[in-house]
Structure 1
Amino acid sequence: MQAAVYREFGGPIRIEQVPVPQLSPDGVLVQVMATGVCRSDWHGWKGHDDDVKQHGLPFVPGHELSGIVVQVGRSVKQFSVGDRVTAPFILSCGNCRYCHRNRTTVCSDQQQPGFTYWGSFAEYVAIPRADRNVKRIPDSVSFVQAASLGCRFTTAYRAVKQQGRLQQGESIAIFGAGGVGLSCVMMAASIGANIIVAIDLSNDALDLAMKLGATHVVQASVKDCCQQVQLLCGGDGADLCVDAAGFAETCENAVLCTRPAGRMVQVGLPIGDHRPQVPMGRVAGKEIEIIGSHGFAADDLPELLDMVASSSLDPAKLVRREVSLREGAIELESMDKGSPIGITMIVRFNDSKL
């Protein structure tokens, strides 16, 4: 099969012929029909991810995927060849104490395509633990829509709805208008938040945030950024603040912009040794909850797919480019210069020139 392969961290990503992944007894082999280009893939390629480093090189990135089952492991009971499927990027084990407590996003024996093993920048990807983690795609949901849920929207769903507990009529401020941040905007709009403030340095990203459901935007470079956010949310801050960027400043500002007795969710992952100076006096004195959020549970994926099928959520609105495997590899390398606005989706996987 053809796959995008890197053989050194930060080195060239080339389209190569490699063996089709081996199928585990509890897994399915999926012909990839769509896969997103995510900044997390860039982190893996640059050598920032411990799982990728532990796996070793060469490596194939990719974790936002959808496709068609072409082979089924002997112990799989719920899937057949021809099924249209997707899966979250955290594949839980079902056996550890966290899975037993229904906290599968922190499973102690999780697998992750594109991080713990070769991912979906390829014609085929293997997905272990299929009966636990793989989900069918409704006929009315496209492969592109399903794949675009795979990381950014699922991550936003958990951050905003589950961990952040956003309710209809509440206010939310979202720091960072990248893929996860913009997905948080759309999720907040679908829940019925009455004030949705997006904060970012990019005016293009802020323009897109307004089109996707933000009621207000704030340019992050202004000196009174926090004051503006607080005023837009009633004067004392937002019911829920989400740091979707992962920088020290965005974390600090998110805490400062959370109202008394409000919630702050940290979902953006820092690069390197980012240590924010969290105003803990405000956290304690104003009884602010700080909540971590990571990934998404497979059992919640059908609800998101139903939201797409019913047109209450359309993740394809974030898709700005549909490209070939080779073009996707080039875009991943170009993220050294910053992430493009919106989602890039790889939909063509066989290069006849190879």
Structure 2
Amino acid sequence: MRAAVLKEHGEPLEVEDVDNPEASPDGAVIEMEACGICRSDWHGWQGDWDWLGIQPQKGQILGHEPAGRVIAVGENVTRFSEGDHVAVPFNLGDGTCIECRTGHGNTCENVMPLGFVEAVPGAFAEEMHVPAADQNLVHLPDGVSSVDMAGLGCRFMTAFHGLAHRADVGAGDWVAIHGCGGVGLSAVHIANALGANVIAVDLIGEKLEKAKDLGASETVNAGDVEDVPGEVQAIADGGASVSVDALGIATTCQNSVLSLGRRGQHIQIGLTTQDEQGMVSLPTDAMTMQEIEFIGSLGMPPTRYDEIFRMVATGKLNPSAVVSETVGLDDVSDKLEAMTDFDTVGIPVIDAF
């Protein structure tokens, strides 16, 4: 089968023929119909996250936002069959630890980040294998497109979990989203659907216009103002109730915290780059005095995807609105290169393998 394989960090992926995967006793093989190209793929391609122990090595197949059809299942799989239309979360659980058994598979004690470690080759390929399929696969509703659902593997569901489960977003609350890439734009759309007033922050006007289309009440161009937190505080009349760092650099993290009002909640979704290597300084005294919460949010438990699907069914959410374009497997390297200069808007999705 064809797959886009990492040969050197920062160098174009090579599309080559590799062996087709076989289903393990507890696993399933998925034929790809769509896979998003995510900024996390860019991090892996760059060689980031060695400080987390998940730096992809040479020979790795990247890709972690897949949707497709089950074409083979192992003898121990009971919930899925050949032909099922499925999505696959990026943070695969083993299905046996206490986190998985209590519905928190996104924080599995033995989490396997899809496409970032040798044990789980990714979805920039015609087929991929999913271990612990009963734990990790998600049935997609009838009639939905794999392209429209590709973001559910990472960006859309990550934003949903952060805002709907980890934060306390109430009707009319001001929610600031710092960084309007794929996950940030998803967060704008979701926060709006949850009834919040959304302030979108970015450096690029095109992304801020897209944020308005997705429901942002206000926008702040960080390149045009000297004090981003001050602008957010002024718009929100004293500070946002919830603020999200959807990018993961020191500036957006700090701006997000400083944008909050008293008893505000900062949600950290973006993971850091080589510049920060997981460490960002924060205004801890101000956070203490104002009782500001710093909350981490990783992926989303597979057991809660139905919440998204119910909102999609009633028209409150539309994951396809964040999809910007479809491309072929041979175009992946160009899209990763474009992300170096933040030159993508929304979610590019592979639909030709």
Q: What TM-score do you get using the length of structure 2 for normalisation? A: 0.94
Partner residue, 2:309: 305
1:198 Cα offset (Å): 0.5
How many residues align? The count is 346
SS where residue 189 of structure 1 aligns? helix
Partner residue, 2:176: 173
Amino acid at match of 1:59: Q
SS where residue 146 of structure 1 aligns? helix
Instruction: Return the match for 1:251 from 253, 258, 266.
Output: 253
Say if 2:130 is the partner of 1:123. Answer: no
Distance 1:113 1:248 in 2: 26
Amino acid at match of 2:88: A
Partner residue, 1:40: 40
1:106 Cα offset (Å): 1.9
Say if 2:343 is the partner of 1:336. Answer: no
Deviates more, 1:182-191 or 1:85-94: 85-94
1:306 Cα offset (Å): 2.8
Deviates more, 1:41-50 or 1:279-288: 41-50
Instruction: Return the match for 1:240 from 227, 238, 242.
Output: 242
Distance 2:246 2:60 in 1: 27
Listed as ranges, the matches of 1:71-82 within 5 Å are 71-82=72-83
SS where residue 98 of structure 1 aligns? helix
Distance 2:103 2:73 in 1: 26
1:108 Cα offset (Å): 1.6
Say if 2:99 is the partner of 1:95. Answer: no
Contact preservation (8 Å) 1:24, 1:73? yes
Structure 1 residues 77 and 320: alpha-carbon distance in aligned structure 2, compared to 1, 3 A threshold? same
Can you list the C-alpha shifts for 1:34-91, whole angstroms capped at 9, x where unaligned?
A: 00011111111111133554x6321111000100110011100111111111121111
Listed as ranges, the matches of 1:316-335 within 5 Å are 316-335=320-339
Partner residue, 1:352: none
Distance 1:79 1:72 in 2: 7
Distance 1:272 1:9 in 2: 13
Deviates more, 1:256-265 or 1:63-72: 256-265
Contact preservation (8 Å) 1:176, 1:245? yes
Contact preservation (8 Å) 2:338, 2:344? no
1:334 Cα offset (Å): 3.4
The alignment-based identity, stated in percent, is: 40
The answer for unaligned runs of 5 or more in structure 1 is 350-354
Say if 2:106 is the partner of 1:105. Answer: yes
Q: What TM-score do you get using the length of structure 1 for normalisation? A: 0.94
Amino acid at match of 2:342: G
Say if 2:21 is the partner of 1:18. Answer: no
Distance 1:337 1:88 in 2: 27
Distance 2:178 2:185 in 1: 10
Can you list the C-alpha shifts for 1:199-222, whole angstroms capped at 9, x where unaligned?
A: 111111111101110000011121
Distance 1:73 1:226 in 2: 52
Contact preservation (8 Å) 1:133, 1:299? no
Partner residue, 1:155: 158
Amino acid at match of 1:48: D
SS where residue 250 of structure 1 aligns? helix
SS where residue 294 of structure 1 aligns? coil
Contact preservation (8 Å) 1:197, 1:217? yes
1:317 Cα offset (Å): 1.0
The answer for unaligned runs of 5 or more in structure 2 is none
SS where residue 3 of structure 1 aligns? strand
SS where residue 141 of structure 2 aligns? coil
1:337 Cα offset (Å): 3.0
Contact preservation (8 Å) 2:84, 2:139? yes
Contact preservation (8 Å) 1:168, 1:192? yes
Say if 2:351 is the partner of 1:347. Answer: yes
Amino acid at match of 1:173: A
Contact preservation (8 Å) 1:141, 1:308? no
Distance 2:290 2:340 in 1: 39
Listed as ranges, the matches of 1:201-216 within 5 Å are 201-216=203-218
Distance 2:12 2:320 in 1: 29
Distance 1:341 1:157 in 2: 19
SS where residue 326 of structure 2 aligns? strand
Distance 1:286 1:215 in 2: 26
Can you list the C-alpha shifts for 1:229-266, whole angstroms capped at 9, x where unaligned?
A: 111112x1011111111111211111111110111111
Distance 1:334 1:191 in 2: 32
Say if 2:8 is the partner of 1:5. Answer: no
Can you list the C-alpha shifts for 1:86-115, whole angstroms capped at 9, x where unaligned?
A: 121111123223334543222121122211
Distance 2:140 2:265 in 1: 33
Q: CA RMSD in A?
A: 1.5
Contact preservation (8 Å) 1:328, 1:344? no
Partner residue, 1:198: 200
